[in-house]
Amino acid sequence: MATFYPLIRNGGGSLFLILLSCVFLVSSLLCVLGRPATFEQDFRATWSESHIRHIDQGRTIQLMLDQSSGCGFASKVKYMFGRVSMKIKLVPGDSAGTVTAFYMNSDTDSVRDELDFEFLGNRSGQPYTVQTNVYAHGKGNREQRVNLWFDPSADFHTYTILWNHKHIVFSVDDFPIRVYKNNEAKGVPYPKMQAMGVYSTLWEADNWATRGGLEKIDWSKAPFNAYYKDFDIEGCSVPGPASCSSNPSNWWEGAAYQELSAIQARRYRWVRINHVVYDYCQDKSRFPVTPPECLAGI
């Protein structure tokens, strides 16, 4: 008899499908099987495939936005808990009015769960802002914004979402920029019932993206291009064994991932003190009554 726990894992910049725990009771042999995979095998275009370009034999993906269309892609399967990361090089120069997004989404309409990175374009010379948001059981409006402390269009940087039963951590180059804790015990919804796919899009949103919509997109600068590589998805694929997502032996459920390390905590405090430019928890015009998760600690 064999038991399989399908995971997707990155190795050397390419994707690997890891079939773990092929356990044969007769011989007590543990088998670890793997296959190299390309972008085409694990992702699909969701919007305007003609604007998606494959570079370096598919190891790097270019998304393009012009006046005719933006574009996007998504994973072919959904995942339940784990870690997702991508290296992204954002739109350079005058990118005002553009949004480059990397997110997880349950694709379940009004009761959706969603974890968002949205990179808001800027006028040349202004800092790039990344907006994060968390939807749980259909409720969102939990935006926070951080001005990045480097030029994210000059080179690739790693953007990561860690999602386990204890918390969700958004990180930039191993610097946590947001932590959303599981406070269900205090009546705060937490995404744990629905698997989510991995998505990315590049699109025009000049009605809100840059300075609240005051800065409009300059189409004379088009096309706008963003680049992706080193996709890394480690989690329980759905459909798959139901026991996988509740298995406490999954590495992302381990003690080292239940809270930030001392180094991560110091980096998190530095980001929060120096680079947060908007936090819905502090926005009394939108929330006269402080949302419960803000009081419970995020």
Catalytic residues: 114, 118
Greatest distance between any 2 Cα atoms in the chain = 68
CA–CA separation, 78 vs 126, rounded Å?
36
Task: Give me the residues paired with residue 147 across strands.
Answer: 129
The identity of residue 64, as a single letter, is M
Q: Which two tokens stand for residue 144?
A: 């926070």
Q: Specify the residue for token string 């025009």.
A: 204
CB of 213 within 8 A of CB of 207? yes
The residue whose two tokens read 């992204």 is 88
Alpha-carbon distance of 113 to 192, in angstroms, equals 9
Whether 133 contacts 116, CB under 8 Å: yes
The answer to whether the CB of 58 falls within 8 A of the CB of 184 is no
Q: How many CB atoms lie within 10 A of CB 265?
A: 13
